[in-house]
Amino acid sequence: QQQVKQSPQSLIVQKGGISIINCAYENTAFDYFPWYQQFPGKGPALLIAIRPDVSEKKEGRFTISFNKSAKQFSLHIMDSQPGDSATYFCAAGTSGNTPLVFGKGTRLSVIA
Amino acid sequence: ETGVTQTPRHLVMGMTNKKSLKCEQHLGHNAMYWYKQSAKKPLELMFVYSLEERVENNSVPSRFSPECPNSSHLFLHLHTLQPEDSALYLCASSRNTGTQLFGSGTRLTVV
């Protein structure tokens, strides 16, 4: 019940296209859903996050869509660029100092 | 930079050596974490400290020994490691709400 299932494991997208990464969870106590972006040799960096009181959050080219009833959330990267090539992790957590539960990551490659 | 600083960035050690990894944050966070990242397990939580007390230890071998002397510093003491312990070791910190900020990691190679 603590798992966060992330798909796909890897993704290749043409420059200018839309990258979509999906995550699903079981624990209905989760109330915080961040996405992290990690470049080789670096630690994961917080990209964007959402709480279940909204169904969508947009920051620039990055959008989180959240479906509470389906217990799913997804990251959309619009106008994908080669510089977006990285590994993306979804995560879920609860209020308080309980550790986030991370998905297994998606390696995105944006090709010209 | 996230404000979470890890040293050293790279470490090569023999199986009989003793070394320590250091993590430091001055963000006012009250929880700190150690993760292991390898090709087999992308983000594997090792230890959690909340208000300087260890609150989680995910069945980590005793050759890894964490220490949290205060809310700003976290160490991972290493001794008699195995080659399979070679990985990127990440430190993170947070304040209550679960937003974890990560350091850049220490790339550890055990020879």
pLDDT at A46 over 60: yes
Alpha-carbon span B86 to A18, nearest angstrom: 35
> Does A41 sit within 8 Å of B98, measured CB to CB?
no
Q: Which residues of A touch B48 (CB under 8 A)?
A: 97, 99
* Substitution target from B68, B96, B97 for chain A, most A beta carbons within 10 A: B97
Task: Return residues 1-30 of A near B (CB < 8 Å).
Answer: none
- Read off the pLDDT of each residue in B41-62 and give the average, rounded to a whole number: 85
Give the residue from A34, A20, A3, A9 showing the smallest Cα distance to A80.
A20
Residue where the block lists tokens 């490659």: A109
Find which of A30, A31, A97, A102 to mutate to test the B interface (most B CBs within 10 Å of its CB): A97
Check residues B42 and A21 and name the one with the higher pLDDT.
A21
In the structure, what pLDDT confidence band is assigned to residue A106 with cuts at 50, 70 and 90? very high
Instruction: Give the whole-angstrom CA distance, residue A88 versus residue A103.
Output: 9
Taking CB atoms and an 8 Å limit, are A43 and B97 in contact across chains? no
- Amino acid B54: pLDDT: 80
Task: Give B56's pLDDT tier (boundaries 50, 70, 90).
Answer: confident
What Cα–Cα distance (Å) separates residue A40 from each residue in A47, A58, A94, A108?
16, 25, 28, 12
Cβ neighbours around B48 below 10 Å, total: 23
Half-sphere CA count of A61, side-chain side, radius 13 A: 12
| pLDDT at res. A45 | 95
Nearest CA-CA partner of A99 in B102, B75, B73: B102
DSSP letter for each residue of A8-70: -SEEEEETTS-EEEEEEE--TT--BEEEEEE-TTS--EEEEEE-TT-SEEEETTEEEEEETTT
- What percentage of chain A exceeds 70 in pLDDT? 97
Nearest-Cα distance to chain B for A112, in Å, is 26
Judged by average pLDDT, the poorest of A3-7, A32-36, A78-82, B1-5 is B1-5
Q: How many CB pairs under 8 A join A and B?
A: 60
Q: Is the pLDDT of residue A96 over 70?
A: no
Tell me if A89 and B96 make a contact (CB, 8 A cut-off). Answer: no
pLDDT of residue B97: 57
Contacts of A69 (CB under 8 A, 6+ apart): none
